[in-house]
């Protein structure tokens, strides 16, 4: 028996961090995906291969213990940042919503097109694709709503505080305006939005950054709460501008959002450098995307994509991402 599923990464355009406090966010599924294949295994363990990360792990079915196949990886420590992704896969495989749980060996391969720790939703995409492939493997029906909810539970279990934004976008695809009351509502952009992504050399740790913002908010509630409220206003204005095709306003709002994120302490030198270089090269707007503290920034640069891409490539890794209407496929 072989089961396959695939789910897209995402870019948050507006509202990261403030979404954790109940404010809206706008995010888009991107044309880079996590592809998961589950096959029946030859022994009693679950073997997980993620060749793009050089991660080869084993999950013990009885104890749930995760270890790395050291002979292949040549290292002792299973708790490296990249290997942390195995925790999402394990948590996904053992969710009761799947109707069954592993009772024999499996070989799982993750083909990952999304850079990890880059704020592009790699862990959500892997989680959604693993759940979908496992549901297929167990011949279990799972609605998209249950899939998105279960994937969010996995993120909470592994990472601590998290909003359901990443898992919602990865499940449903497209361009989403997300609120906690109504979940993801698809919006129709009246403008083209290819984005240049600049990817710093440091991965961002989402759980840690969310905690850091929580502490800042507890220490300075009368300052930080209004900033979070303003971020919500920016997102609502951006929704209007995106659906009316107002390119310059979208750019301005991204820049305002970036200033507010900086005030929350999640910006870094390296991100700032990319963000300002993108603007100098002609981007209408540029900001960090995802949790910050490293990871990636995005630049919105209609008519100047090539110039901005080349500028950012001269500093760090940079690539172009397009929007994907396709959410999870299985
Ligand atoms: O770093 P990412 O791609 O997981 O995005 C995190 C977005 C936050 O708003 C900071 C956290 C969340 O769970 O919404």
Could you tell me which residues come within 8 angstroms of residue 80 by beta carbon, excluding any fewer than 6 positions away?
none
* Boundaries of every domain in the chain: 2-186, 195-321
Beta pairing class for 106-112 and 45-50: parallel
For the Cβ of 231 lying below 6 angstroms from any atom of ligand 1, the answer is: no
For the Cβ of 169 lying below 6 angstroms from any atom of ligand 1, the answer is: no
Taking only the tens place, the pLDDT of each residue in 134-172 is 999 999 999 999 999 999 999 999 987 777 899 999 999
The one catalytic residue in 107, 141, 166, 316 is: 166
Taking only the tens place, the pLDDT of each residue in 23-76 is 999 999 999 999 999 999 988 899 999 999 888 999 999 888 898 885 444 444
Mean pLDDT, residues 175-190: 89
Cα–Cα distance between 118 and 140 in angstroms, integer? 32
Mean pLDDT, residues 110-116: 92
Position with higher pLDDT, 81 vs 131: 131
SS3 319: strand
Closest-CA residue, ligand 1 atom 5, reads 290
Q: Is 31 known to be catalytic?
A: no
Only one residue has tokens 């299985």, namely: 330
Residue 247: its pLDDT value, please?
96
Structure tokens at 319: 């690539």
Residue 73: its pLDDT value, please?
44
Q: Which residue, among 206, 115, 124, 137, has the nearest Cα to 169 in the 3D structure?
A: 124
Q: What angle do CA 182, 126, 136 make, to 5 degrees?
A: 85
Which range, of 8-12, 19-23, 151-155, 179-183, averages the lowest pLDDT? 179-183
For the Cβ of 121 lying below 6 angstroms from any atom of ligand 1, the answer is: yes
Q: Probe ligand 1: pick from 8, 13, 16, 287, max atoms within 8 Å of CB?
A: 16
Whole-structure pTM value:
0.88
For the Cβ of 292 lying below 6 angstroms from any atom of ligand 1, the answer is: no
317 C-alpha to ligand 1 centroid (Å): 21
For the Cβ of 15 lying below 6 angstroms from any atom of ligand 1, the answer is: no
Which ligand 1 atom minimizes the distance to the CA of 17?
9
Residue 79: its pLDDT value, please?
52
Q: Probe ligand 1: pick from 291, 292, 321, max atoms within 8 Å of CB?
A: 291
Which ligand 1 atom minimizes the distance to the CA of 266?
10
Taking only the tens place, the pLDDT of each residue in 61-78 is 988 889 888 544 444 444
Mean pLDDT of the chain: 92
- Which positions make up the binding site? 115-125
Cβ(205)–Cβ(291) below 8 Å: yes
Distance of CA 41 to the CA centre of its chain: 29
Mean pLDDT, residues 185-189: 90
131 C-alpha to ligand 1 centroid (Å): 20
Q: What percentage of the chain reaches a pLDDT higher than 70?
A: 96
17 C-alpha to ligand 1 centroid (Å): 6
CATH 3.90.280.10 for the 2-186 domain, yes or no: no
CATH architecture of the domain with range 195-321: 2-Layer Sandwich (3.30)
The number of CA neighbours under 13 Å toward the Cβ of 23 is 22
- Rounded (to 5) percent helix, strand, coil in the chain: 45, 25, 30
Cα–Cα distance between 290 and 296 in angstroms, integer? 7
């Amino acid at each position: 028996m072989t089961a396959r599923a695939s789910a897209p990464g995402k870019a948050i355009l507006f509202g990261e961090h403030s979404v954790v406090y109940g404010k809206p966010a706008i995010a888009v599924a991107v044309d880079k995906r996590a592809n998961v294949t589950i096959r029946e295994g030859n022994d009693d363990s679950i073997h997980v291969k993620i060749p793009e990360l050089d991660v080869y792990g084993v999950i013990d079915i009885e104890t749930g213990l995760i270890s790395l196949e050291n002979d292949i990886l040549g290292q002792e420590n299973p708790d490296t940042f990249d290997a942390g992704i195995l925790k999402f896969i394990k948590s996904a495989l053992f969710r009761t919503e799947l109707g069954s749980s592993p009772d024999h060996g499996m070989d799982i391969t993750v083909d990952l097109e999304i850079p990890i720790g880059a704020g592009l939703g790699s862990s959500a995409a892997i989680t959604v694709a693993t759940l979908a492939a496992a549901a297929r493997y167990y011949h279990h029906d799972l609605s998209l709503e249950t899939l998105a909810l279960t994937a969010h539970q996995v993120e909470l279990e592994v990472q601590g505080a998290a909003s359901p934004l990443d898992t919602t976008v990865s499940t449903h695809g497209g361009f989403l305006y997300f609120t906690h009351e109504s979940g993801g509502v698809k919006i129709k952009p009246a403008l083209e939005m290819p984005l240049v992504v600049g990817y710093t050399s440091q991965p961002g740790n989402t759980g840690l950054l969310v905690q850091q913002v929580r502490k800042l908010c507890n220490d300075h509630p009368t300052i930080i709460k209004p900033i979070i409220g303003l971020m919500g206003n920016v997102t609502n204005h951006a929704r209007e501008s995106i659906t009316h095709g107002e390119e310059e306003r979208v750019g301005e709002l991204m820049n305002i959002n970036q200033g507010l994120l900086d005030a929350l302490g999640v910006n870094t030198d390296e991100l700032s450098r990319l963000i300002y270089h993108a603007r100098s090269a002609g981007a209408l707007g540029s900001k960090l995307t995802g949790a910050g503290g490293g990871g990636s920034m995005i630049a919105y640069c209609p008519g100047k994509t090539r110039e901005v891409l080349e500028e950012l490539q001269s500093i760090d890794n940079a690539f172009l991402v397009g929007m994907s209407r396709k959410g999870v496929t299985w």
